[in-house]
């Protein structure tokens, strides 16, 4: 299974906060699955840290390479992804989550999330809390 972490799931994983569920942890750490971090999540993290809504031990440009070194792959935003957002129904107001949905559709990925609105798009999800 190819996984795409929602931003909150990425933060939970890196902080080892205990909020990421045992099944999600198992799937992320199994070695059977490829796990991706979207450029959209990095963009969202950068905005939140600049507005002091998220506090990291290091700036994102230092923190993210450390996360990637643990085995996650980068998922850039392509024109195909950007075009796919246009055809999504307006179920979710968060542009970052809409991009994750478009990427999951285009790349056949399962989104690791607790956001119930993402389920409404019909993309495969893995509950990040279980």
pLDDT at 72: 95
pLDDT at 17: 78
**CATH code of the domain made up of 2-127:** 3.40.50.1010
Digit-coded pLDDT (tens) for 111-121: 999 999 999 99
- Rounded-to-integer distance, Cα 59 and Cα 76, Å: 20
Categorize the per-residue pLDDT at 16 as very low, low, confident or very high, splitting at 50, 70 and 90.
confident
Domain spans of the chain?
2-127
Could you give the strand order of the β-sheet that contains 110-113, starting from the edge strand earlier in sequence? 73-75, 34-38, 2-5, 110-113, 125-127
> pTM (2 decimals)?
0.94
Average pLDDT on 103-126 reads 97
For the chain, the average pLDDT equals: 95
């Amino acid at each position: 299974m190819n996984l795409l972490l929602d931003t909150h799931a990425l933060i939970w994983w890196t902080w080892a906060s205990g909020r990421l569920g045992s099944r999600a942890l198992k799937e992320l750490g199994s070695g059977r699955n490829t796990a991706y971090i979207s450029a959209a999540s990095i963009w969202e993290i950068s905005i939140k840290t600049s507005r002091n809504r998220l506090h990291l031990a290091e700036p994102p440009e230092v923190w993210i390479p450390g996360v990637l070194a643990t085995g996650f792959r980068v998922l850039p935003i392509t024109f195909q992804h950007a075009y796919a957002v246009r055809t999504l129904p307006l179920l979710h107001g968060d542009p970052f989550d809409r991009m994750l949905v478009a990427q999951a559709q285009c790349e056949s990925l399962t989104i690791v999330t607790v956001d119930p609105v993402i389920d409404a798009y019909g993309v495969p999800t893995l509950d990040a809390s279980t």
